[in-house]
Structures are given as structure tokens and as C-alpha cells.
Amino acid sequence: MPNTNSKEQSKSWVDRAIDRVKPQPPAPKSPAPPPVDQTQWEQSVGAHKVNTLTIHDVGLIVFGETQSVTHSDKANDTIGGAREKVAHAVINGDTQFGHHRPKTTPPIEPSGKAMRDPVTNAAYVSSLGAAREAYLSPMDPTHGAMHFNLRPNADRSNFERGPHEPGFKIRTQSGPFDNSNPKTGKNGLPARGILSIRMGSSKRALFPVAGVMISCLLLVSSWGQDGSHQVSKRKTACKTPENAAICYWAHGRLSLYNGTPSFRLWKIGTHRILGIYSGPEGEKLDELDNEHPGFPASIRQLFKPLSNQIFADFEICPLEPEHTGVMQAACVESAKNIVVDP
């Protein structure tokens, strides 16, 4: 009888040899991961808390400070990258000092009407994205900075400089960017050439400050141990024959803010905040007048911008007409009934 086992073994050996050289079918594809709900992910990150602020709050602050700033081909950074640095500064301040962080624009959602504007909508999306990226980033390009403002040029002089206190040194600077909402005169920025500024801070709590955009500064050691800083004397008159008729008294709070203008006065009992300058001729004498406006002697004696704020009855002289939803430029002629806080 034929040896069937031998034939089967021979066939199996041949088949195995052929299997080694012939193309094999590809492995089955791995199953696709489940789709990520991008909106849900963004909301999840936005809900994370730094200290007192959520990441969504940080994004709204960045939006409030930078919504009119747009990309320029001449800039040394993207507008998204600049906003991310602003977000880092806000996060750093909240991480270290919580409610006593440098003051900023409050986190307010834009209205539905505002969001129908393509430029506003794009700034909103970019700002919230910048906050998420800053929160998730393992590195901080601002090196711990907590203060920022916006300047109309590449001036790199210290922020809040005085005759004896050099102030904050610029650490990073982004720009120049374009401005989709240019204004001339007080409280305004040009259509082109806007530069964001960021500043560093000391190891201890500074009193709240609020903001605009991109250059980083480091607080130098020449500040007073109590956080004092010499508030500027008058360079120019606030109340003049031309504006005397429109000056008025109001109870308010004067504080140092991140952003432009640096000093702002809240009219207590209203939603109005005034941007403070030296007077009608202030910016003609000094382009950065908003960073160190002149104040009356009664304020200069008590106001230490980095460590306190003051409540008082202020004599205010408007420097431009009032418009709904827009910070009005003004100067302070005098003050009485001053209370220092803290």
C-alpha cells in the first residue's frame, strides 16, 4: 500500500515552504478611537480652576483686554501667541495671590450682538483657546510675569518709572500688531504699531492691577519695602478754562491696573470706569502719560499703587465724550475724604 502519511507530510512541508515566500494578507486594521467631542473637551478644560479663576474666566479676561488687537505681518509673534502670554500672566497672578492678583478687566461674556461681528467672534475664540493652551503648557514663556499693558510703540522703558524707582523691566515684548478699533487722542491706540507689554512681579502680593497686552517686566529691587512708588507730580494742568464747566465731583475708587491706561477710577454705584491721564495736554508731553499720570498732592501723599488703592470724593474732568460700553478718559483735579485701602 502507498504510504499516505509520507505524502501528506511532504505536501505539508511544501505548503509551509510556499507560505514563507508568498505575500501574506495584511493584519486587520486597529479599530478607530472613538471621536472626541471638541466642544466638550474645551468646556472641560475651561471649567478647571486656577485659584479663584476658571480657565474660561482667564480666556474672557484675555478677550476683554485684547479683542481689538489683530495680526500683523510685521509682528514678531502671532496674535494667538501673544494672547497666550497674556493668559500666562493672568494665571500666574491668580495662582500666587488669588483675589489679590493684579487687577484686570472682569471676565464678562460678550453679548450675542457683539458675537455676530466676525472680528469679535474670532478674537473670542482665539482668547479662550489661548487660555487653554497656557493652562496646559508645561512651560511659561513669561517666566512668572503677572503684569502686562499695551504701548503704541516699541518703547522699552520701565513701566511705572519714577524719579527714584525704576519700576518694572520689560521681559518679553510682542508686536507690532494692528488695532481693529483705533482711536485718536486720550485713551486711544493707533490702527497700526500696537505693542503688547508684560511685566514680572515681586515675591509678595501686590495690590490688584488690570489690563491690555504684551511685554514682560521684572520688578526691580529699588521699590520701597512697603510697595510704595512716587505718584507723579503735575506735568500739566487737569482743570483748564476750556474744560472747567464739565468737571464734576463723584465718589470712587482709584487703583493701578494691568493694561492701558494703567490708572483707572471706578465711579462707585455705577458700571463706569474712567481711564486716568494727567490732563488735556498730558500725552502731548509724554506718549506714555497713562502709565504715570499726575495727581494732586492729597493723592500723592497717600496713594501707593503697588500696595493700596484709595476711595475718595474726586473732582473729575472728562477728557473726551462719554460713550456706552467704552472707558472714558479723564483726569483728577482734586480729592477729599480720602480713605486708603488696605
Domain residue extents for the chain: 40-219, 244-341
Q: Is 259 left (phi over 0), alpha (psi -120 to 50) or beta?
A: left
Distance in angstroms (rounded) separating the CA atoms of residues 58 and 91: 7
Q: Cis before residue 342, ω within 30 degrees of 0?
A: yes
C-alpha cell at 67: 479683542
pLDDT at 172 (0 to 100): 78
Q: Looking up cell 500672566, which residue turns up?
A: 89
C-alpha torsion sign, points 173, 177, 180, 185: positive
- What is the DSSP code (8-state) at residue 3? -
- Residue 116, helix vs strand vs coil: coil
- Residue 297, helix vs strand vs coil: helix
Distance in angstroms (rounded) separating the CA atoms of residues 281 and 270: 28
Cα separations in angstroms, 254 against 105, 230, 275, 312: 15, 15, 10, 8
Contacts of 114 by beta carbon, 8 Å cutoff, 6+ apart: 120
Distance in angstroms (rounded) separating the CA atoms of residues 152 and 190: 7
pLDDT at 46 (0 to 100): 86
- Which mean pLDDT values do the consecutive 10-residue runs of the chain (342 residues) have? 55 66 73 72 86 94 88 85 91 90 87 90 94 92 83 67 56 79 56 54 36 36 40 80 94 89 91 90 76 89 87 95 86 94 81
User: Environment class of residue 5 by beta-carbon count within 10 Å: exposed (0-12), middle (13-18) or buried (19+)?
Assistant: exposed
Q: Are 258 and 151 in contact (CB under 8 A)?
A: no
C-alpha cell at 15: 505548503
Nearest to 305 by CA among 198, 168, 197: 168
φ and ψ of 69, to 5 deg:
-90, 130
- The stretches of 22-78 forming alpha helices (DSSP H) are 38-46, 55-66
